[in-house]
Structure formats: C-alpha cells, structure tokens
C-alpha cells in the first residue's frame, strides 16, 4: 500500500505543478542556498534563489583566455577549467559537452546526436561536423501504422524503441577532440566521470522536468531508476543525483574511444534496451555509424560573415535567409520590439518556414535548393512582398530559379581564435523514454523528426537523417577576425531565435548580455505571432495592440522561453564576453 500511496502522491504533485502553480509556491520554496554553497563542489554559482526563482546574476562574464557558455554551470566550469589547464576551445567544448550529458540528461547525452561548427584559430578555416542520428537500416516509410486519415496511431514515433535512431554523439565529440583538440580522452572525460560518480545538483528546473515526466518514468522503469529517489518520487530541488552507471560507460569510452560505445558490451546493451520496447537498431547499425565532415552554409549580414549548419539541418540555411530578408530594411532605425520591428520579423518568419516545409530534407536523399534559399536576390523578392500595415499569408516561391534543418547548446571561444558551437540533443525531454539499463544513459526519439507521410523530402528511409533546426553558428568580422559564437535549443524555433539575437547585436548595437536578455517572437506560416517577454523586460501592450489591428493573432508565450541562447563575443580589446540564457540554468564561465 505504501508504494501505491507514494505513486499517487507523485502523480498529484505532477498535476499540481502542471496546473500552473508557481514553482516558488511549492514545498521546494525553502531551498537552503547556503548549505548548497558549502557542500557542493560547484555550489559557488547558482541560478536560483531560496524560493526557486531564476535569478539574473552570474549569467554573463568576461574572460581573457577563454569563455564557455552552456546550459549548466557545472559544464561551463568544467570547460573553463580545461582552458585553465592549457587546453584549447575544442578540449573545453568536448569536456563541457560530456558533462552536460551528466547534469542535463533530459536534453542531451550519449544516446543522442547533433551538430557543431568549428573555426580553427590557426588556419581560420571553418568546418561543420554532422553527428546527427540516422534511421536504422531496417527502417521503412510504412513502419509506423496509420489510421484511415493517414495519422500515425498512438505515440510510437516519439516514445519506445521504434522512436530511437542510431546515436551519433560519442562519435562526433571524439572526432572533434582527436582532430582538433590537444588533450587526451581521459583528461577531457574525467570531470564528467567524477560528476556522475559524486552527484550533480537537482535545480528547480531539473526537478520540474523530472516531475513532469513522472508517468513516462513509470512506464519505462529503467528511466525512473536514474531519477527517482528511494521512495519512488522525483528528487527535491537542492538534492543531488548520482549516476555511477553513466560514470562506468564514460570510463569505457575514455579507455576504448568510440569502439567502447559502438561495439562490445555497451553496444549490446543499447540494442537490447531498444528491442525490449520494440526497437529495430542492430549492432551493425552502430558499427556502421559515420561522422560527416562538411562545408558550413555561408552568408553575410551587413558585412559580417556567417557560418552555420547546412542540411540536413534546416537551421543555418533559414537563419541566413531570415537575415537576408532583414538586410533589405533599416532595422537599426526601428525601436527594438516595437510593432514595426515585430511585424517585420513575423512576416519574414512566415515565408522562411513555408520554404522549410516545402524544400528541406537530407540532401543525400532529396535535392535541396540551398544556393537559391540563401541567395540575396531571392531574399529581396521575398522582402518585397512584406506590407508595413498588413499581416499576410504567403504563397511559396521557387528558390530553384536562384541556384547558380529539446536540446542543449554550448558556445566556446579561446584567446587563439578557436571558436566552436555545439548543439546536441536526444530530441524530446528524456528522449524515447528508453534508458540503457546498467549503463546510465537515455536513448533519443529522433525518428519523430521525420515526416510520417511517405514520399516527402523528410520521409523515413534507412540510413537517412531527419530534418533539424539546430543552428550552431560562427560569425566573423568583415576582415575575418573572430566575432561571435551562438546557438540554442528550442526545436523548430531555433534559427528564428538565433537570427533575432544576431540582429539585436548588429542592428541595435546591443551588448551580448542585453541581446540574450531581450524579448523574442516566433511565427510559423500562419498569422499567430507568439511573443516572449525578455528577462525582466516586458513587451509593451500598446505595441501588441497595434499588431492586432493589422491582422496578427497575438499569443503571449508564458511558458518560460522559446529557446535558451548561449553565446560568446570577442571585444575589440581581445577580451571575450560570454552569456547564458537567463531563462535557463545556464551560466557563462571565463578564464
């Protein structure tokens, strides 16, 4: 009876939190901040107060030798410590990325994948590393049963074994370390191993994600084992979670490299875990996984050089497309987040997301009009359709005439001009729900990023990569010198958010910390304009009313933030600014 009552209590707790009661009003409102600072290895910097409210302090930093900005202080601190020990930005980024998989496991980890954009400080060359997950070899377009209306029955694309694509994170992080880093696997992975063994802090945000996932963790007990306390309940904010199984897996990877994950005991356990819940991944799928090294998509914005993610991510292409449209307007003369400014962004977003839905997919399987989409004349054509006093619906244009894609992000820069942005994910919070028992990590549900309709540019095919919006982005000054590294989680809103921050910095001359703190908007292809207040900076109601008058369906986004920007910026004097999103647990740390 006690176990039944505890489960009922946890479900009631989940319902209370989902009902909109403020986090600070829960029992966790009495967090002992001083105790955490005294006992926790990384307790010197916290992002919340005793009432579990997010705070403004500690988000931004200035560094001389390097800066790491990520979604957890532990990861940023670990990365900065690597720089302090003589490592470069790549060493720091890989260390921070593995640490994020420990302390922010709801969003990314060994069972996921992602993208990174890297500038070599010595040569100035920018490369793009694709370690996105791929569909298993046994995948087919009709593998998910559909009803008479063509809709997939149930949640099979998002949860369980058939939602799992072949992970790429381990291969990608080790590739960048081995080719561009200076330190050994053991040196770089040891901090993450220690964090998993010793335990990481459960922040109020982490508590909320675990509580919200209570039913998922009950349905997938191997997942619940990683997070529930001894009473079978979500751990309280201010407590700690250890993951010795993950520490064991990380130690195997440190010793054996990628083979320690894609072959042997870990690989077999991964295949077995997916198969238990209907998965089709095989050992051959794992051994066949390959990282792709590609040219980044390139563009310019008011003289600055932009490098970002090419397909199969839609992010870099469409971010550049948004900036190309904005370049046709005197954005700097507008009042930031006035009706005039938000209307322009909204109309640009609608046209760009229409192009995304029409043309984007894995270029190994479909033809993508990449050059056309980022062509300045094509952007001028789209810009000419925007009317200053009317919210419109748009018809798709033909970019082929101009020929001639929940998540963690971290940005790292060092004094030598090495710049790296890594965006990585297991897709939904806690991915597929399938955890690899005895090895401490969660498998992605990246198959849900495919379209369920056969024959489309983003339909399921074996070995194919699903469309993404991840946009790790590097910006250089006109003379080629380093300027910014930016990126964010946020699903299909990512590139719209990154484009806004870039514009805020370049057009409005905002310091990085102010651009990260500023309001943001989002618009898909319809007329629903969602607006998010900045951190302590509300959008004026008078401006919202003006947009309603000209036809926008205004929606105030109150559920946190669209995405969490992490960025670094080189100042003229050689120092480096870093800032982590104020709506997240993120912190930037400099050395």
Catalytically annotated residues: 407
- Quote the CA–CA distance of 502 and 518 in Å, as a whole number: 12
Give the Å distances, CA to CA, from 206 to 13, 39, 105, 245, 455: 15, 19, 9, 20, 39
Alpha carbons 251 and 49: distance in angstroms, whole number: 35
Spatial contact of 222 and 434, defined as CB atoms under 8 Å apart? yes
CA-to-CA distance for 529 and 555, rounded, in angstroms?
6
Rounded to an integer, what distance in angstroms lies between the CA atom of residue 408 and that of residue 391? 33
Neighbours of 167 (CB within 10 A): 30
Distance between CA atoms of residues 249 and 462, nearest Å: 28
3-state secondary structure of 588: strand
**CA-CA distance, 313 to 458, in Å (whole number)?**
11
Burial of 212 (0-12, 13-18, 19+ CB in 10 A): middle
CB-facing half-sphere around the CA of 265: CA atoms within 13 A? 11
Beta strands in 393-481 (DSSP E): 407-414, 419-425, 435-436, 441-442, 473-476
H helix intervals, 486-540:
494-507, 512-517
Contact 564, 588 (CB under 8 A): no
What does the block give as tokens for 9?
């209590």
* DSSP single-letter state for residue 521: E
| Half-sphere CA count of 185, side-chain side, radius 13 A | 18
Handedness of CA 451, 452, 453, 454 (dihedral sign): positive
Measured in degrees and rounded to the nearest 5, phi and psi for residue 413 equal -135, 145
Alpha helices (H) along 41-112 = 73-84, 89-103
Strands 126-131 and 407-414, bridge-based pairing:
unpaired
Neighbours of 225 (CB within 10 A): 15
Q: Which residues contact 293 (CB under 8 A, 6 or more apart)?
A: 127, 128, 129, 130, 175
Alpha helix (H) ranges present in 199-307? 204-212, 214-219, 221-227, 244-256, 259-262, 264-276, 283-287
- Residue pair 518/337 in contact (Cβ under 8 Å)? The answer is yes
Chain centre distance of CA 92:
18
């Amino acid at each position: 009876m006690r176990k039944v009552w505890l489960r009922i209590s946890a479900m009631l707790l989940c319902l209370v939190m989902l009902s909109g009661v403020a986090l600070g009003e829960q029992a966790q409102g009495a967090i002992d901040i001083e105790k955490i600072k005294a006992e926790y290895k990384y307790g010197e910097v916290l992002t919340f107060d005793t009432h579990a409210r997010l705070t403004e302090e500690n988000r931004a930093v200035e560094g001389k030798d390097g800066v790491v900005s990520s979604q957890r202080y532990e990861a940023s601190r670990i990365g900065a410590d690597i720089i302090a020990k003589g490592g470069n930005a790549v060493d720091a980024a890989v260390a921070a990325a593995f640490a994020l998989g420990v302390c922010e496991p709801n969003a990314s980890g060994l069972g996921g994948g992602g993208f990174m954009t890297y500038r070599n400080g010595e040569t100035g060359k920018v490369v793009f590393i694709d370690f996105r997950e791929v569909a298993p070899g046994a995948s087919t377009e009709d593998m998910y049963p559909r009803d008479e209306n063509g809709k997939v029955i149930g949640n099979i694309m998002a949860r369980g074994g058939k939602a799992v694509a072949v992970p790429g994170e381990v291969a990608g992080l080790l590739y960048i370390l081995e080719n561009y880093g200076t330190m050994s696997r053991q040196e770089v992975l040891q901090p993450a191993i220690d964090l998993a063994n010793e335990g990481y802090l459960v922040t109020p945000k982490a508590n909320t994600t675990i509580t919200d996932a209570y039913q998922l963790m009950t349905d997938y007990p191997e997942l619940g084992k990683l997070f529930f306390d001894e009473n079978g309940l979500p751990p309280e904010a201010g407590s700690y979670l250890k993951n010795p199984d993950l520490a064991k897996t990380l130690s195997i990877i440190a010793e054996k490299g990628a083979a320690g994950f894609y072959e042997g005991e870990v690989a077999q356990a991964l295949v077995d875990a997916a198969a238990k819940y209907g998965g089709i991944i095989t050992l051959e799928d794992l051994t066949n996984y390959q990282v792709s090294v590609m040219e980044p998509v390139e563009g310019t914005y008011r003289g600055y050089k932009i490098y970002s993610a090419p397909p199969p991510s839609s992010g870099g292409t469409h971010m550049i497309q948004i900036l190309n449209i904005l370049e046709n307007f005197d954005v700097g003369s507008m009042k930031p987040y006035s009706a005039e400014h938000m209307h322009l962004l909204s109309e640009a977003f609608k046209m760009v997301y229409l192009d995304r839905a029409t043309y984007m997919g894995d270029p190994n399987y479909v033809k993508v009009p990449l050059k056309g989409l980022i062509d300045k004349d094509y952007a001028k054509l789209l810009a000419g359709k925007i009317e200053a006093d009317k919210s419109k619906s748009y018809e798709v244009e033909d970019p082929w005439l101009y020929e001639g894609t929940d998540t963690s992000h971290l940005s790292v820069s060092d004094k030598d001009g090495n710049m790296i942005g890594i965006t990585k994910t297991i897709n939904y919070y806690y991915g597929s729900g399938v955890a690899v028992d005895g090895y401490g990590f969660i498998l992605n549900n990246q198959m849900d990023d495919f379209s369920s309709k056969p024959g489309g540019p983003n339909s399921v095919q074996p070995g194919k990569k699903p469309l993404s919006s991840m946009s790790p982005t590097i910006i250089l000054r006109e003379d080629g010198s380093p300027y910014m590294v930016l990126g964010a989680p946020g699903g299909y809103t990512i590139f719209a958010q990154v484009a806004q921050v870039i514009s805020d910095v370049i057009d409005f001359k905002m310091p990085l910390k102010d651009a990260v703190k500023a309001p943001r908007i989002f618009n898909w292809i319809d007329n629903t304009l969602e607006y998010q207040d900045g951190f302590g900076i509300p959008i004026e109601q008078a401006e919202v009313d003006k947009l309603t008058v000209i036809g926008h369906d205004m929606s105030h986004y109150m559920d946190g933030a669209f995405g969490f920007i992490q960025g670094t910026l080189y100042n003229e004097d050689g120092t480096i600014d870093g800032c982590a999103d104020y709506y997240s647990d993120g912190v930037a740390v400099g050395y």
